[in-house]
Structure 1
Amino acid sequence: MFSFLNLQSLLGLVVIVAVCWAVSENRRAFPWRLALGAIGVQAALILALFAIPGSQGVLAAVTGAVDGLAKATAEGTQFVFGYLAGGDQPYPVQNQGALFTFAFNVLPLILVISALSALLWHWRILKWLTLAFGFLFQKTMGLGGASALAVAANIFLGMIESPIVIRAYLDKLTRSEIFLMMVVGLATVAGSTMVAYASILAPVLPNAAGHVLVASIVSAPAGVLLARIIIPETPGMGGAVADYNSALKYDSAIDAIVKGTADGLMVVLNISAVLIVFVAFVALVNVMLGGFVVGGEALTVERILGFVFAPVAWLIGVEWPQAGVAGWLLGVKLTLTEFVAFINLGQVPAEAMNERTRMLMTYALCGFANIGSVGITVTGLSVLIPERREEVLGLVWKALFAGFLATLMTAAVVGALPAAVFGQ
């Protein structure tokens, strides 16, 4: 049965599309067929992964795989770091919760999944999955072969790794296709971080691994649609055809594992550095805001973000009493990265956020659209297509805007579906 909350999410979906149309470079070229196709693909994928018979078994298998990867990673981490990573403690522990350390309990997962992803790519398993999604996006949304492949690769790889898949075609892409690739990269997450997010949310959200996986998949069509609305493709342009002989190759299984681990290490170092700096900056701003008192409490960045983004959270289907906390999480994602936002989401007390809101926020937060990713995007694409660096610089902030809205659109689509689909 549909409820007012479902209609609320539908309103949010309309508003998100309308906002992108308002800032479009060509408002007369609204892609109606693509809009219907993208929303249809999103809804179909969500229903296929949650509502069809046997889907719960698939999600349970995904959850079991994530748990297995987490346990295996813990073995390797504890071998290197011992009691610091949750191994046998040399002293009595009064607070078991204090043993959780982000650096030792979450970041090592990225190393393992990065190496595993490289190995699966070398064995062509991940490549064929990417090709299947690429074919789906090509047929349902009219993307050119290269663009479709890049969009599909973003579901499993990172926002810089996926352009490598079509590196031979990057210089042939139109401005609209470059923008689309950037938006989808910011709207989705890499497989290596996906498992880390699921591990963070597992204690507080049923089927956390399934929701995170679905979030990254269905945000890709949302990113395509919003990118095409903001910068429509010029008729007769675009559609570079890829022969799917990817530039991303490994010499052997061992080479894939070693290079995958090295790539994962760079991701871990980038995440660690960005988190340290951005959390420190926010703390510094809070110190400067400490002299301002509003409502009997000191003004903080978190409170400001809660005020600013609360209406946005309401639009995607969050009940108003919880919109302040949800809005704060959206602001944290934009400024401090989705990692910090997911950690904070996992720490929100059960009485402060119901299961529906927690589920919607999982979809709304699951994307790389944050200020820190702007630098990563510019740096990565400047290396891959140095001759188009100025073009990338001119598009990156628009891409951040569209990528942020894409995950909100995904949450709105989820919120518009009956709660029974998700077993609520």
Structure 2
Amino acid sequence: MKKLRVVVVSSGLAPQFGGAAVSEASLCAFLSQHADVTVLCRGDAVDGEFVQGFGLNGVVRYQPAEIYEAWRNKAEWVHKILDAADVLHLNGHWRWENYFFARLCKRKGVPYVLHPRGMLLVGHRKTLLKYLFNLLIGKWIVRHASKVIALSQFETRHFDTYGLPARAVQIIPNGIPVNESKQIPIPAHIHLPEKYFLYYGRVEKRKNLVFLVQAFGEYVRAGGSAHLFIMGPVERGYDRTIRAAADAEDVTFRVHLLAPQYDDTRWELVRRSLAVVYPALEEPFGRVPFEAVAVGTVPIIPDRSGSAEYLKWHLPSAVYKHQDRHSLSAALLRAEKGSIGGTPEAREWVKNALDWKRISNAVLDLYREVGAGTA
């Protein structure tokens, strides 16, 4: 069978782009085993070391203006890449050059698949700009895609305002690697208490960390004895907001902010924690809870999330009610007592259902359907 020729437009291939970058890079690496894959990414959104870590060679860096120039029948190198493609895979949404990628595909008869990765939600930040973007070009990008990939059924809630028919949406979750990890020492500068909960990810408003601190305060008042570590890169000075919330709850001595840790140190912190708490709002998937399960740690997650959609069947007592402090506090108490069961079963499910080979094969099948006009 002839190899598919796939062009992937990445929304970012660098650590600061979080889980989306990990998922995009992982998918490209696995797709490359069965297809001819060309990866395009904004020049300022590529980190060479990050890309090399996934074995991605020859990522093509572009400037947004070059895609506009290609639409005006200039920038011949862009035309050369698209003319050779069987399908284009467009990640993210809030990039104006995506409109010109989509227009070029329509002009050339190349089908494109849109993979928004939670980006179709209009809210939290820059709401007016997002509304105008969608009014001018965003909805066109979405509606003219041959297929839109959702990470969960939960994410399809974000599609309501775009007028997409159900047949235009394909649900394919992210892959999660499950590896056996050995216990390692924690760096000397990190002082861990005997018992702690862990959040890791970007430290910003949408991650709902003030709510987490407030629920943690209730947990402490109910007799909980563990600490809370919040680990990750701080955005827009949000650490000050968290410290103020901890002070208001009188738990400053129990809430600790920690710089991002990577590789083995991160996984060891996850493994040693009582549970990983991930309270993010409107999260379509969220790699963090699944990564916790992959190393054998309980995740605590809201019922209104993509992660709960998949994990509630194995970890029902790890799921709390959306924005209910008492419900989250109770889940923290259960985790401290060790009464949240089901982690081994959940880990086995993640290992099988979210295996990257399985996920990449599902994406390849979708490409073939789109190319054949049967999607």
TM tier, smaller: under 0.3
TM-score (norm 1): 0.24
Higher helix share: 1
TM-score (norm 2): 0.27
Higher strand share: 2
Higher relative contact order (Cα pairs below 8 Å, separated by 6+ residues):
1
